Structure 1
Amino acid sequence: MPRCCAATLPQLGLLLLCAAWLLPGLVGHAPWKGGDGEHFVQLWRLLQGDVAPQAVSATPPLYYWVATATAWLTSPILALHDGARLASGVFIALALFFVARTARALYGAEAGWAAALTLLGCVGLLVRGHELNAYIAQFAAAAIMLYGLARLPQNARSGWVLGIGATLMLLAGGAAEAALILVLAGLLPLLLEDYRSAAARRALLLGVGLALAASAAWLAYLATQAIPFVRALNLQRWLGGDGLRPTYYPGILAWYAWPAWPLAAWGLYRSRRQWRTPGMVLPLGALVGLLGLYALAAHPGEEQGLILLLPLALLGAPGLFSLRRGAASALLWFALMLFGFIGLVFWVYWSAHDLGSPARLAARLTKLGMTGVGELRPWALALGLAVTLAWIVFLARVGRSPLRPILVWTASMTFIWALLMALFQAPLDRRLSYTSVGEELAARVPPADCLQTYRVRSQQRLLLTYHSGRQFAPADPGCSWLLVETRRREDAPRIPPGWVKQWEGARPGDRSDRFHLYARPRQ
């Protein structure tokens, strides 16, 4: 085989692995309860009227702009929620590209794929990276800023990258993170000789100047639109709350950043005597600074901690190449045993769901609200078999290399996610979305009628509006239909005379939210 082709095939295989990680779960299901539904509601509110995204959402507009664009571009073939969710795939792909480029700049060409695979293998990224999640825009913007920092001593044009990354971070709601990374950029010349050159100083001034000019322009626009700075810059993350929780993010990193943090810890240990290098100071400074910043967060959450994965993946890349043989084998076999067992469990659950055997497990799934138990789905079976066969073939063909442990881990985690989506995406969609409730309302309420609501929360109301196509008017007593929501262990409220109950139900298996539909007889 020609040398160029031999070099291309491994690169193509790695790109296919990234695509196999990205695509399953991005399309083919309605907005799910939780973060996916919450961010879709923000986009839905934006699209319903001529409203600035900052006035609608607690998270500023970059993600919603891109989601609107991907939804519009794919509108001939995809539903609005599926097209919008592709924005997450776009931002994840950008983050992977720039974290790989950053690793190449800091550690050499061979470290690029190591950093990208380490990032892709982080457990915390798996679910958050496949849902509508406005914080993924911050994740990508931070990756761009870190690349600009890494290239400052090497290329004068890197100042443009740093400035553009800071601008995107500002629009993504990461004003505090952008300021932190720019402060780190200003401190690097004090620690590293490479950043003291005239070219590096010019690039740094260019990046900071561009960021400040963009910030001034954005703030001026916000002022002309009378949009509060606190909301537009997402500063409410540092205000209010029940008290600081400084240990929240260090506490979740044990599983959230696995296996990046053990590789990063090993890399730091191996380089402890050569710590004054860009490959050590830049990602370690970013990690320590971000942990210090997030210790002040009033409302910490998993999705906001995605940025922490970037410096850990960068620190883990060189650690992977110096990993002892025993540790590398342990990571590899842990991946095989863990994900092989999970895959077996998924197939047992598929048998219970589609074949009704084992019967006790099938009965349990029915009790949990899974629909279609006992009905064979040929397409799910075919896709599941294809995914499982692809994983087995990959394991049989993967060669020995320093990348092998993280490659097996990431590919095996990708296999589990793809298998879950192949076998259970449709049942999970019925279980986790409000589609079934919306269908019930659409079947009972005439299209021209409106629904008054009582105790129905904003997110649920908008999702039901989207799925049912019916008009909801929370405070309109003139509506001939009334929808009431009750929480767990709550009794149905007393309804004034004249209303007749037409339906009562919830999402399949949901025990926390229940809906009651009433109609007023027409005179």
Structure 2
Amino acid sequence: MVNTYPSDTSANPAIVAQSAVRRLPRWIVWTLCLAYVLPGFMGRTPWKAADMEAFGFMFNLAQPFGSDNVSWLKPTLLGQTDSGAALLPYWLGAWAIQLAPKGLPIDTAAQLPFIALLGLTLAATWYAVYALARTPAAQPVSFAFGGEAKPADYARAIADGGLLALLACLGLARLSHEATPALAQLSFSALLFFALANLARKRMTSLFCAALAIIGLALSGAPALAMILGAGGAIVIALDTGQPQSLRVRKVDVAWVLIFCLASAAITSGLDLWRWRVASSHLFEIQAMARLLLWFTWPAWPLALWTLWRWRNQLKSISANPHLSLPLWFMGVGIATTWMSGLSDRALLISLPALATLAAFALPTLKRSVSAFIDWFTLLFFSVGALIIWTVWLSMQTGFPAQPAINVARLAPGFVLQFSLTAFILASLATLAWAGLVRWRAGRHRSALWKSMVLPASGAILCWLLVMTLWLSLLDFGRSYAPLVNKVRSMMGATDCVHYYGLTKAQGAAFQFHGNLKLLPVTTRAQSTVSNTSQCAWLIVDTQALAAFTQEVDASAWTQHATVRRPSDNNEDIVLFRALSISITAKP
């Protein structure tokens, strides 16, 4: 039998002493995670457009207007179902709204489950990396006279590095802070990654998590992804020959995972949730795909490539090396899904935990010069980014320097920045912490595996926190529908309903939530059987639908009142019409 254990130094590049795996204080890990998770969810309204659309489904489920029938199995918004066929994310948001205490804003309540989902993503990634690093093939080379890293300490250091690599990924920040099905898919795929990585050691916990993850993925708009990741991942783990016989995955456990996949397929078929969305027109856009991968997965992708190069001898017997094969499977599926779904960055989200895992296994093999380059590049990149954020904020507050404030006024006309002491204090503390971290990293300290990822992760968190404090009111003004809705609402006076034509689901949700309006579709020529009447005095139409509106609706019953532009968007206008005569046929 061929020996695939770490003593085979020709295949294992990890040469790690016990001194290099010292513990990263847990309070630092918790602080970094909280500083990343909470900003971006708190203090803002749902943004354009996927965020607002998802909230609209939750809002309609939790607080339906009037006596309209609401189907929890077929949630609708403006009479349309979700094109992604997701259910569970909307259920979670709606339940949170219904259970929220009085006084808590509805949009904040809807975000609470998604805060938990992002936290679950980070935790699942850490424990998955830890489990994979504990496998014999991933362990460092044993020294002739002892002193090599202990298995548990080594695995913990690698897991810390994997978590930091995930936090550092540029593409994770915005999309992981939107209450959309994409975040649910990321969370459940990370949970499945954790379950498969731990299947040999923690059978019952892993099987429970695998069932939850597969069903959760299927009900979050990704039933095919649940089948592929679940079945393929189970087979990858089952083929592992690098483990001692006592630690190998049992065939019955693999069978259970496959049963979960079949059960999820049956459930989604019964609920009619299968959707095939292959964008063949984008399959040959190689450059666009490369650009997306380069920035979205930075800085994990260079380290992941380095891992594949340094561990290339183990790739020859990849089935015996689950610390490489399992993340490669999840990463490959995520990239392939992105490619076939029209280069969707939301689809690429699910590859980030696996990519961060591969990046973590590069840390034991990095040369000191490479580590120093990462540190200095990161230091310059994020320090300059933080300086720009502070400069723009100072310009908006004081008018000096003048040009940033002029640019903001041009891009967001009508925006007035108000000083927030809380935001200023949080941003100042984060900046001081960054300065202290840079000073610590520049000092002489014992090497640790996770040190090379501390600055990238902390820098990404710093810039994210600064943007979500100092720039939050500006971003909320620019990306929220509230300014547009408030303008239209002020022109309509006292009314509780409005007709609509050609609105997107996100626009409709915004008028329902921000405007507190009941939206009724306008009667078209094909639907009209009597003289033109209207239940509401006002009609709103998206400008992009005006041509179709004049053809399908009898415009003689309406007179144009105003055209309202979304302040920060030149391509989104709402035309407001007033009814010439109103016949109340039903109570709005």
**Pairwise same-fold verdict (TM > 0.5):** yes
Aligned to 2:398: 355
1:202 is aligned to 2:252: yes
Q: Is the 8 A contact 1:32 1:432 kept in 2?
A: yes
Aligned to 2:33: 18
Tell me the distance in 1 between the aligned counterparts of 2:452 and 2:470.
27
1:168 is aligned to 2:216: yes
Supply the AA of the counterpart residue of 2:312. R
Tell me the distance in 2 between the aligned counterparts of 1:163 and 1:481.
49
Q: 1:373 to 1:72 in 2, by over 3 A?
A: same
1:34 is aligned to 2:60: no
Tell me the distance in 2 between the aligned counterparts of 1:185 and 1:454.
48
Tell me the distance in 2 between the aligned counterparts of 1:70 and 1:508.
31
The farther-off stretch of 471-480 and 458-467 is 471-480
Tell me the distance in 2 between the aligned counterparts of 1:243 and 1:377.
44
Aligned to 1:253: 293
Q: Which of residues 196, 212, 215 in structure 1 aligns to 2:262?
A: 212
SS of equivalent to 1:510: coil
SS of equivalent to 1:194: coil
Normalized against structure 2, the TM-score is what?
Answer: 0.78
The farther-off stretch of 121-130 and 206-215 is 206-215
**Aligned ranges for residues 323-338 of structure 1 at < 5 Å?**
323-338=366-381
Tell me the distance in 1 between the aligned counterparts of 2:117 and 2:440.
31
Tell me the distance in 1 between the aligned counterparts of 2:187 and 2:482.
31
**Aligned ranges for residues 332-411 of structure 1 at < 5 Å?**
332-373=375-416, 376-397=419-440, 401-411=448-458
Q: Which of residues 355, 359, 369 in structure 2 aligns to 1:312?
A: 355
**Aligned ranges for residues 408-447 of structure 1 at < 5 Å?**
408-447=455-494
Q: How many residues align?
A: 505
SS of equivalent to 1:123: coil
Identity %: 25
SS of equivalent to 1:505: strand
Q: Is the 8 A contact 1:188 1:195 kept in 2?
A: no
Supply the AA of the counterpart residue of 2:119. A
SS of equivalent to 2:179: coil
- CA offset digits 1:162-201 (Å, max 9, x no partner): 3332222222232222222213422444453539767522
Q: Is the 8 A contact 2:227 2:265 kept in 1?
A: no
Tell me the distance in 2 between the aligned counterparts of 1:32 and 1:105.
37
Aligned to 2:137: none
Aligned to 1:180: 228
Supply the AA of the counterpart residue of 1:509. S
Q: Which of residues 577, 583, 588 in structure 2 aligns to 1:518?
A: 577
Tell me the distance in 2 between the aligned counterparts of 1:336 and 1:356.
28
- CA offset digits 1:326-384 (Å, max 9, x no partner): 11111111111111111111122112211122334322221212545576555544443
Aligned to 1:480: 537
Higher relative contact order (CA 8 A, sep 6+): 2
- CA offset digits 1:39-82 (Å, max 9, x no partner): 22332343335223555322421222222233344443432222
Normalized against structure 1, the TM-score is what?
Answer: 0.87
- CA offset digits 1:87-141 (Å, max 9, x no partner): 3321121111111111111112322211111111111101101112212212121
- CA offset digits 1:214-264 (Å, max 9, x no partner): 543x25xx63xxx43xxx13x2323x6646457465542111111111111
Aligned to 1:60: 86
**Aligned ranges for residues 95-244 of structure 1 at < 5 Å?**
95-107=121-133, 108-157=155-204, 158-181=206-229, 182-190=231-239, 192-194=241-243, 200-216=250-266, 218-219=267-268, 223=270, 227-228=271-272, 232-233=273-274, 235-238=275-278, 242=281, 244=283
Aligned to 1:287: 331
Shift of 1:25: 1.1
The answer to which structure has the higher helix fraction is 1
- CA offset digits 1:413-448 (Å, max 9, x no partner): 111111111111112212211112222333332444
Shift of 1:289: 4.1
Q: Is the 8 A contact 1:141 1:165 kept in 2?
A: yes
Q: Is the 8 A contact 2:59 2:94 kept in 1?
A: no
Q: 1:333 to 1:86 in 2, by over 3 A?
A: farther
Q: Is the 8 A contact 2:478 2:568 kept in 1?
A: yes
1:51 is aligned to 2:75: no
Aligned to 1:264: 304
Tell me the distance in 2 between the aligned counterparts of 1:77 and 1:13.
33
Supply the AA of the counterpart residue of 1:84. A
Q: Is the 8 A contact 1:156 1:200 kept in 2?
A: no
The farther-off stretch of 348-357 and 496-505 is 496-505
- CA offset digits 1:464-509 (Å, max 9, x no partner): 221111232231541322323325999x979956755544322223
Tell me the distance in 2 between the aligned counterparts of 1:76 and 1:392.
41
Tell me the distance in 2 between the aligned counterparts of 1:299 and 1:195.
43
Supply the AA of the counterpart residue of 1:52. W
Q: 1:213 to 1:76 in 2, by over 3 A?
A: same
Specify every segment of 5 or more residues in structure 1 that has no aligned partner in the other structure, as ranges: 1-6
Supply the AA of the counterpart residue of 2:332. V
Aligned to 1:92: 118
Aligned to 1:3: none
